[in-house]
Structure 1
Amino acid sequence: MVRAIAAVVGAAFVFVLALALFGTVSDRIKTPPAETAAEWVHDRTPSLNADLPSAGLLGKYDDRQLQRGFQVFKEVCSACHSIRLVAFRDLQQLGYSEPETKAIAQQWQIEQPSPNPDTGETATRKNLPSDHFPLVFANDIAARAANNNAVPPDLSDITKAREGGADYVYRLVGHGYGPQPAELLKEFPDIATPKGLYYNKYFANLNIAMPPPLKSDGQVQYTDGTKPTVDQMAKDVASFLTWTAEPKLEARHAGGFAALIFLLIFCFLCWGAYQNVWRDEVH
């Protein structure tokens, strides 16, 4: 008797859930949600790809491009953004020598916070190669005060934190800024970019607090002779930020490739052992 009652109750519960699901799907089909301005723009915006050497299963970093990307970060991005998970000595992985790394640390525009051990007063000291890149702002309050109430994100893991990774960074800083299209304003009259924000077609809600970082060609003068177009600078800084997020990418790719080769050999050996063990078996 108890089992019968439980079965009836369970069946009724399933029926109610199915009825609710059917109603929700039916309403969605009959009255689909209105398209948002961001969806309207993103559906009509091409998905540009940076085509970096590090992309793909066997991708590798280009040290010259990483150094150019670091130069863009240093001269353009570091005024507002930090890379707190990266140490100065890590730059040796980009091809910088130990003296060059030490010089970069010493000359970095922001010094390390180092309270005076005697008085406890806040002080600073020169960066050492073993130090991580210092924060640009002491706290979020200072960051908001200097950036129109917006907190610039740390860029150490930005290519992992954003959908699209390096391609997202490349699109956003290199090809996203511009005036709002007349068609957009005609379709959505109330979507005008608020004062203090900037229209960017690759940003999630189209309006971003960060001013265009790459304003024109030649903004950064590369030391290796590469032509510093906005597109090239966007690719280079996207490559550098890919490295800050995945400094061991090449080793991971090499390890995965070696594991695949091992598995193939192991499968072949297993097949050979199977054939040897059962070769005298009568079928």
Structure 2
Amino acid sequence: MVRAISTLIGFAFVGVLAIALFFTAKDAIQNPAPETAEHEFHLHPKDARLQSAGYFGTFDRQQVQRGFQVYKEVCAACHSLKYVSFRDLEEIGYSEAEVKAIATQWVIEQPSVNPETGEAATRKNVPSDRFPSPFANEVAARAANNNALPPDLSLMTKARHDGSNYVYSLVGPDAYRPQPAELLKKFPDAKTPNGLHYNPYFANLNIAMPPPLTADGQVTYADGTKATREQMARDVSAFLTWTAEPKLEKRHAAGFASVIFIAIFCFLAWGAYQNVWRDVKH
């Protein structure tokens, strides 16, 4: 009896779900969602062709260092890296002495307290410190950026779909452009508001951040690489890929080793099976 009741309840539940699915699909077909400018004119990110991409990707440390230089000279004025410590830079090829110098010379110092007076003060950064925020708090950040809050970039390439390519495309040389005449003709109300900038790689097409990479040579690379806007966009994308996944190479290596182990184990298991049952007639 209990089994029959349970079966009836199960059929009723499935029936309700089927009816709900039917009417939802019917409504979607009869009343399709209206077209939007975001849906029609939003562009998918371009391929940055980073060495870290793919199942066997590794970091090009020279490129990641160039990306750090772009972050330091262009992005750090507005965006924080609150989950990254100065000493982490040793993983991309900087020596201990270089990391110490970078930390000490960083423009923004760490908040502190004067032990003699108890008043707020600042101190020089040390390698164990995390990168300090360029603003004292969210209110100050919004006040300096037309009420827009610059996001932290530590995990940006993990927080966005196809993150590495997204960052590369968002700040690349063809990202900021005039609104297409076709968009304004089809969606007159979609005109970019004052204070925002049209960028087809951004989710709603209008972004508060002004173009960060405005000209070739904006950064002078220490290794002599020509700093075109496209090169700087690709390099900063590589750096932010590293900040989000500093253990990427180890993860790829561990995954590759695991696949090889499983393949060998399956072969040995198959051999053992054949050996144990070789005398058994079917």
**Structure-to-structure mapping, 1:1-283, within 5 angstroms:** 18-42=18-42, 45=43, 47-174=45-172, 175-283=174-282
Deviation by residue 1:54-80 (Cα, 9 ceiling, x = unmatched): 000000000110010000000000000
Report the count of equivalent residues.
281
TM-score by length of 1: 0.93
1:269 and 1:8 map into 2 onto residues whose CA distance is 48
1:281 and 1:15 map into 2 onto residues whose CA distance is 50
1:8 and 1:67 map into 2 onto residues whose CA distance is 65
SS for the counterpart of 1:155 is coil
Deviation by residue 1:124-170 (Cα, 9 ceiling, x = unmatched): 00000111111111211111111111111110000000111100000
2:279 and 2:80 map into 1 onto residues whose CA distance is 69
Deviation by residue 1:201-247 (Cα, 9 ceiling, x = unmatched): 01011111110001111111112121111111100000000000111
1:29 and 1:210 map into 2 onto residues whose CA distance is 38
1:208 and 1:47 map into 2 onto residues whose CA distance is 16
Offset, 1:280:
2.4
Offset, 1:186:
0.6
SS for the counterpart of 1:169 is helix
2:13 and 2:278 map into 1 onto residues whose CA distance is 58
Tell me, which stretches of 5 or more residues in structure 2 are unaligned? none
Amino acid at match of 1:110: I
1:89 and 1:5 map into 2 onto residues whose CA distance is 64
TM-score by length of 2: 0.93
2:51 and 2:7 map into 1 onto residues whose CA distance is 60
SS for the counterpart of 1:90 is helix
* Contact 2:85 2:128 (C-alpha < 8 Å) held by counterparts: yes
Deviation by residue 1:164-183 (Cα, 9 ceiling, x = unmatched): 11000001011321111111
Offset, 1:2:
10
* Contact 2:45 2:166 (C-alpha < 8 Å) held by counterparts: no
Q: 1:247 to 1:23 in 2, by over 3 A?
A: same
Q: 1:8 to 1:109 in 2, by over 3 A?
A: same
* Contact 2:44 2:201 (C-alpha < 8 Å) held by counterparts: no
Amino acid at match of 1:27: D
Amino acid at match of 1:70: F
1:214 and 1:3 map into 2 onto residues whose CA distance is 68
Q: 1:62 to 1:17 in 2, by over 3 A?
A: closer
Q: Which runs of 4+ in 1 moved over 6 A?
A: 1-13
* Contact 2:176 2:198 (C-alpha < 8 Å) held by counterparts: yes
Q: 1:100 to 1:15 in 2, by over 3 A?
A: closer
Offset, 1:274:
1.5
Amino acid at match of 1:186: K
2:277 and 2:117 map into 1 onto residues whose CA distance is 82
- CA RMSD in angstroms comes to 2.1
Identical aligned residues as a percent: 68
